[in-house]
Structure formats: structure tokens, C-alpha cells
Chain A
């Protein structure tokens, strides 16, 4: 069981460039989400998904798009990166959608936008 995997682990982008962060889980979880973590702040939810093809916005969705093509994979796309998007990004998954369950996090992607 790999749990939740994320690629890449590190990335440096120039302003205006685009990239996609990949996330996959092998626990058959329904719920998946993307967070960003900045110093001195709590984790902030970007987007989440309750199943394949079903996504919704979180607290800070602007500048990000997501795609959940199947139960396993949930990707996050930055179309035109900005320095304000410099952060650590975590993908998480959890068992169900009837209530909030324990979240399993991927190892994180450290993104720097110059």
C-alpha cells in the first residue's frame, strides 16, 4: 500500500508558466482534496472532490483548476503561476463523504514561483 502519492516533490516555475500536480491514492477513498500550507497559517482547502467527475471549490480556489477522472487520481493545475502561489501543496484523501473522516496526506509538493 503506497497510500497517497504526489508528484513532483519540488518545482520551480517562472511567473506565467503552467504546471499540473499529480496525486493518486490506492485506498479506494471517495473523498480527495488539495490544500496549500503557508508559514504561520493553517492548511487552506483549494478544491475537493467527492467522486470521479465531481469537484467543488474550497476556501482559496482562484488560480487553480482540478480534475478527478477516476476514483484514484486527483490533479491540480496552475494555468498561469504567480509568486503568491509559492507554497507547499498537499493532496489528501479520506474514506467517505457522509461525514469528515481522518485525512491521509501525500508527502507534499514544494512549489516556488519566481
Chain B
């Protein structure tokens, strides 16, 4: 079967750095997405990785290792508004999106 694993919940302090991991076992790989979802709202796109390495976009960076079936989302200089769920999604060999259950990130002052 296909599987995406993310921690259920993480807590971090305002101003700090946090890394949210995502491991996957899927039938094939054609890219990996990260989305942010605030409580009661729709997911919004954060990043897309298809090649190994780090993609940086402001305070957010996303890393991919295809050989390890592993990605992480790195959030720097955490702000209270970063409190949200972070969803990892992998594109499989049939070009279908397989979604993880999401990681709820709690930011404390």
C-alpha cells in the first residue's frame, strides 16, 4: 500500500526554528508538495520538490531525498501566525496525489 508518515503534532517557540518531517512509501514518485492549513480553512500551497535538495522560499524551506523517501519542511523565525497544520502530499506513478494526515504545529510565545 501507499503510505505517508508525518508527526501528528509538534510544539515550538515563537522566534525559533522547527523541522517537520515527512516519510513516504508510494508506487513511484513524481514530486512532493507541502501545504499549510489553518484551522477551519482550506489548504494553501507552500512548496513543490521534484529533485533532491533544498528549496528556499523566504522563512520556509523544503528538502527532498528521493533515495530515502524523505522530505522536511523547515520554518525559521517562527511567528504566531505559523500555528497551523502542515500537509505533505506525494505524486505517485499514476500522477495521483497521496496525502499525509498532516502535522499540527503549535507555536507558544
Contact = CB atoms under 8 A, between A and B. Distances in A.
Given A90-B42, A100-B91, A102-B33, 10 more contacts: A40-B101, A41-B101, A42-B98, A42-B99, A58-B96, A99-B30, A102-B48, A103-B33, A103-B45, A106-B42
A77 interface: no
Chain A binding surface SS class: loop
Interface of A: 40-45, 58, 90, 99-100, 102-108
A102 B32 CA distance: 10
B30 to A, nearest CB: 7
Task: Name, among A40, A45, A102, the residue most crowded by chain B CB atoms within 10 Å (CB to CB).
Answer: A102
Nearest to A108: B42
A26 to B, nearest CB: 16
Interface string B41-69: 11111001000000000000000000000
Interface in B53-109: 87, 89, 91, 95-102
